Structure formats: C-alpha cells, structure tokens
Amino acid sequence: DVKVTQSSRYLVKRTGEKVFLECVQDMDHENMFWYRQDPGLGLRLIYFSYDVKMKEKGDIPEGYSVSREKKERFSLILESASTNQTSMYLCASSSSHVKTGAGGQPQHFGDGTRLSIL
C-alpha cells in the first residue's frame, strides 16, 4: 500500500517565521502535490512536481515555494508566514502514465498538517 507521510499533524508558528512542511512517499511516484484545504473552498493546488528538481505553480502559489531534491520527498516552504496561511495542508503523490500525464492517475494523500499561524 502506498504511504504518504507528512512530518507533522499539528504545527503552530508565528507570523514572519519561515515554515517547512515535509512530505515523503514510499512508492517511487513521479508526481507530488501540495494542497491547502479550507472550509467552503475545498482543496486548492499550491504547487506540484512531476520530477526531481522540477516544479510547477498551481492555483495559489503566492507566499509559498517548494523543493524536490529527492524523488521521495517534497517540501513546502512558507517564506514568511502570515495569519492567512493558517490552514490544513495536504500532500499527495501519484504515478505517471504516458497517456494521462501527471494529472491522470489517482492521488494518494497524507493525513495532513493543520498549521496555525499566530
């Protein structure tokens, strides 16, 4: 079974801090994704990566950056945390298929990190 592990379930940080959220998957998946989930807004894609050292902006990349130095690990960085970044953050991974690309295969999710910025 695919396992996607997020480093923290709960995290409390202060405004202005640099925050790192870590995600590791154990199924050799090419694609990895970071979402934030807010009530009434569903999941919104922040960034995704389809290969090591590759990254693509999602729908709401402002205020965030990512790093993928190894295939199994995808990090989300809040450069200078703000209160409006308080949210649930979900990491996911998926395999690629030549016919369906990075978006076509089912995604496997971690249990999320509930981040509070004070």
The one-letter amino acid code at 99 reads K
Neighbours of 79 (CB within 10 A): 12
Report the residue number, 43 or 77, with the smaller CB distance to another protein.
43
Residue 83's SS3 state is: helix
Shortest Cβ 111–another protein spacing (Å) = 5
Q: Say if residues 34 and 23 touch (Cβ distance below 8 Å).
A: yes
Nearest one of 109, 67, 71, 86 to 10, comparing CA atoms = 86
CB of 34 to another protein, least distance (A): 12
Q: Pick the closer one to another protein by CB: 21 or 90.
A: 90
Amino acid (1-letter code) at residue 107: Q
Question: CB 15 → another protein: shortest distance, Å?
Answer: 25
Footprint of another protein (CB under 8 A): 4, 33, 35, 40-45, 48, 50, 56, 58-59, 90, 92, 100-104, 106-112
